[in-house]
């Protein structure tokens, strides 16, 4: 237990052996779990932690109270990585008054159907909990990133308790982010955390930031990662960008998924051309790079160029997963370019565009490239045209519009375009347009 300021203490623990978060997100060094304890005229515990650290956590709480009773227990968020200690705290301190939202109470009883709460206060917007010299002012923060979430603010020490907001996939060896030894790593792990955990709920995050802006905030205490003080302006700026899907950079993210490597060759050529023209760019190889990292990088760049092989008439699975992450996180304000590869009936461009059209406020380059088996020197001109389009001012780009799809009634091949050319021949079965039907 470390003192933060005056009567407020940090009960943060690191799980250094944890390598996967929420069953899918790789952790590079482990994961931190935070709780906070007031030792004012009244005592108050804010949240608990995950089950693997529970025994050590309970020992810290008991030691911190040093024989005092626990008067209040605030539960900001009911996700299991913060609630493993609820039952033990209520068993140790049965007379404690629990501050929780109504929806939070419902969720609590779903996870802990046998738990008995003797004293409770159902938190409403603007409620105040007075502890003595300190008080907590509560406000609702729904879908940041669960619906029951509340946050609280202590005006005495100008401290915001932000639940999962402003968290990070960082372990905490330095309690304050200003002392974090590698600033770039901190930002990267905070971005990975935001994009993968909270990223879908940009509008709700903006609403939460508006509420929080009414307070004079000198300290932010999240449930994961370090506390923020001096770096608050930087993190507010980043959260504002991320929540509004505003790119941090105007460069290009090149994302490639390849069966035998030929599609990667084209992607690397695109990187070479971008570098020659002084365009900041980064390469993601979906065959080896984790999709959660790719999602995080997507939030950085304004322009995303997708390179994908056709695979059994579908998308290569690695690209399919990446596009699922984009659509499920509501990606907006991007310009997408498309390069497809196929030896006899390339389908990847159409399939990628179909998946991305469900999103709002994105743009598709007019120029695209279809590779037949291997990248060829004559394809360089098309890549350069795509770069020319990327470099156009945004006002000259048009939001992506749906094209028509025509399906071969014999083999199922689908042609995409404004209209089916009169001399078109199916590349799979050789039938003419008489055997095609429009399917949209």
pLDDT at 397: 54
CA dihedral for 12, 17, 18, 19, sign (positive or negative): positive
Question: 40: how many CB neighbours lie within 10 A of its CB?
Answer: 18
pLDDT at 4: 97
pLDDT at 112: 96
Q: What is the C-alpha separation between 197 and 190, in angstroms, rounded?
A: 10
Query: 394: pLDDT confidence band, cut at 50, 70 and 90?
Result: low
Reported as type and span, the H/E element at residue 311 is strand 301-311
Q: Is the pLDDT of residue 350 over 80?
A: yes
pLDDT at 19: 96
Q: Specify the CATH class of 403-440 in words.
A: mainly beta
Query: 26: pLDDT confidence band, cut at 50, 70 and 90?
Result: very high
0.85 exceeded by the pTM?
Answer: yes
Query: 313: pLDDT confidence band, cut at 50, 70 and 90?
Result: confident
pLDDT, tens only, 370-391:
999 999 999 999 999 999 999 9
Q: Is the pLDDT of residue 117 over 60?
A: yes
- Spell out a b/e string for 221-245, using b for 16 or more CB atoms within 10 Å of the CB, else e: bbbbbbbbbebbeebbebbeebbeb
pLDDT at 406: 86
Q: What is the C-alpha separation between 426 and 119, in angstroms, rounded?
A: 72
pLDDT at 335: 97
Q: Is the pLDDT of residue 416 over 90?
A: no
Average pLDDT over residues 136-157: 96
Domain ranges within the chain, ordered by starting residue: 2-243, 249-398, 403-440
CATH hierarchy code of domain 249-398: 3.40.50.360
Q: Specify the CATH class of 2-243 in words.
A: alpha beta
pLDDT, tens only, 184-207:
999 999 999 999 999 999 999 999
Asked if domains 2-243 and 403-440 share a fold, the reply is no
Q: Helix count (H) and strand count (E) of the chain?
A: 11, 26
């Amino acid at each position: 237990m470390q003192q933060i300021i005056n009567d407020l203490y940090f009960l943060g623990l690191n799980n250094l052996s944890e390598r996967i978060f929420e069953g899918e997100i790789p952790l590079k060094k482990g994961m931190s779990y935070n709780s906070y304890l007031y030792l004012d005229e009244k005592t108050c515990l804010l949240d608990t932690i995950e089950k693997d650290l529970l025994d050590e956590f309970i020992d810290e709480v008991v030691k911190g109270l040093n024989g005092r009773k626990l008067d209040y227990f605030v539960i900001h968020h009911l996700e299991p990585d913060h609630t493993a200690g609820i039952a033990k705290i209520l068993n140790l301190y049965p007379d404690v008054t629990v501050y929780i939202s109504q929806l939070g109470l419902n969720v609590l009883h779903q996870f802990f159907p046998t738990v008995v709460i003797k004293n409770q206060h159902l938190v409403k917007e603007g409620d105040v909990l007075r502890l003595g010299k300190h008080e907590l002012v509560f406000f609702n923060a729904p879908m940041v990133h669960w619906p029951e979430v509340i946050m609280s603010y202590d005006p005495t020490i100008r401290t915001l308790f932000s639940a999962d907001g402003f968290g990070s996939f960082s372990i905490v060896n330095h309690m304050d982010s200003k002392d974090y030894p590698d600033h770039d790593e901190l930002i990267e792990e905070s971005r990975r955390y935001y994009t993968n955990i909270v990223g879908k709920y940009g509008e709700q995050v903006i609403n939460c930031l508006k509420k929080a802006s009414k307070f004079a905030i000198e300290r932010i205490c999240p449930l994961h990662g370090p506390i923020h003080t001096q770096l608050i302006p930087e993190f507010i700026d980043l959260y504002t960008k991320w929540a509004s899907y505003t790119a941090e950079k105007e460069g290009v993210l090149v994302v490639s998924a390849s069966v035998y490597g030929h599609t990667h060759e084209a992607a690397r050529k695109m990187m070479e051309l971008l570098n020659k023209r002084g365009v900041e760019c980064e390469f993601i190889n979906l065959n080896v790079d984790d999709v959660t990292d790719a999602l995080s990088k997507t939030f950085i760049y304004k322009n995303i160029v997708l390179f994908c092989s056709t695979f059994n008439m579908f998308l290569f699975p690695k690209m399919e997963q990446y596009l699922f992450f984009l659509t499920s996180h509501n990606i907006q304000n991007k310009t997408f370019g498309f390069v497809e590869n196929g030896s006899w009936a390339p389908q990847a461009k159409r399939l990628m565009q179909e998946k991305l059209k469900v999103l709002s406020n994105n743009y598709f380059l007019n120029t695209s490239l279809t590779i037949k088996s291997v990248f060829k020197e004559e394809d360089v001109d098309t890549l350069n045209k795509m770069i020319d389009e990327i470099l156009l001012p945004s006002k000259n780009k048009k939001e992506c519009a749906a094209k028509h799809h025509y399906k071969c009634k014999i083999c199922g091949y689908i042609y995409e375009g404004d209209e089916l050319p009169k001399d078109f021949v199916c590349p799979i079965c050789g039938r003419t347009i008489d055997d095609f039907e429009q399917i949209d």
